Amino acid sequence: MFYALLRPRYVKLAINNLVAWIIKRFSGKKIGGKLYRFFESIDKEIDEFQESMYIFCTEGRVDLFYVIVYTIIYWIVDFSSLPVILLGLNQPPSVLLCIAAQVLLLIIIIVPLTPGSSGVAEFAAISIFSAFMPVSILGIAVAAWRAFTFYTNILVGGFVSFKLLKNTELVHKYLKRS
């Protein structure tokens, strides 16, 4: 990404050549008009990335600082949910162990085996949390952890997204057609 900021022309060329090679290799088709539009969109995205990073580094330094601070606060709150749940269940939490387990779980959850990693996350959490949590509270702790870290994010994010989309012209036009 840093190289894309300094030499966007070379990054565009490399990505376009890679995409063309992949398409020729796996589909056996020649590059047509649709692919040229695809290459143009790749070039446009790289240009927009460069412009936005320039804005962040010049005009938006204060905003970027706030974004970094708020992101750190978000992750602290997110990773503190499991120790708080264990405290609520009268179990002494090992904060570092809880954070390490959640980091490992996030790596596992990133692999999209099922929608929302549903089931995979719970199974992995039970497997990992059983190393430092009594079996008698394991199910409750995993259910509460998943509820706080996943389902509340979906509810709040959906509500905020709906409020934001409600004010856009595109949504108004679409709703008028229906």
Decide if 171 is inside a domain. Answer: no
pLDDT digits (tens, 9 = 90+) for 68-86: 999 999 999 999 999 999 9
Q: What percent of the chain has pLDDT over 70?
A: 86
Widest CA span of the chain, in angstroms? 65
CA separation for the pair 117, 98 (Å, rounded): 20
| Average pLDDT over all residues of the chain | 84
Per-residue pLDDT at 153 exceeds 90: no
pLDDT at 28: 65
CB 82 within 8 A of CB 93: yes
Of 6-10, 117-121, 144-148, 174-178, which range is least confident? 174-178
Q: d(Cα 126, Cα 29) in Å, to the nearest integer?
A: 47
Whether residue 44 is found in the same domain as residue 82: no
The residues, ordered by sequence, that sit 6+ positions from 7 with a Cβ below 8 Å of its Cβ are none
Q: Are both 143 and 81 inside the same structural domain? A: yes
Same domain assignment for residues 81 and 152: yes
DSSP-derived letter for residue 148 is: I
- For 160, the domain range is 71-166
CB 104 within 8 A of CB 80: no
Distance (Å, rounded) from C-alpha 128 to C-alpha 138? 10
**What is the reported pLDDT for 33?**
65
Q: Are residues 113 and 46 in the same domain?
A: no
Residue pair 141/132 in contact by the 8 Å Cβ criterion:
no
Q: What is the band of 178 on the pLDDT scale with cuts at 50, 70, 90?
A: low
pLDDT band at 3 (very low <50, low <70, confident <90, very high): confident
Distance from C-alpha of 13 to C-alpha of 7, rounded to nearest angstrom = 10
Q: 20 and 88 in one domain?
A: no
pTM to 2 decimal places:
0.63
Q: Is the pLDDT of residue 175 over 70?
A: no
Give the mean pLDDT of 21-46: 75
Q: Is 91 left (phi over 0), alpha (psi -120 to 50) or beta?
A: beta
Domain count, the chain: 2
Same-domain status, 42 and 97: no
State pLDDT tens for residues 124-137. Answer: 999 999 999 999 99
| Residue 103 pLDDT > 90 | yes
3-state SS class at 90: coil
Residue range 20-27: mean pLDDT, rounded = 76
Structure-derived torsion over alpha carbons of residues 47, 49, 54, 55, reported in degrees to the nearest 10: 110
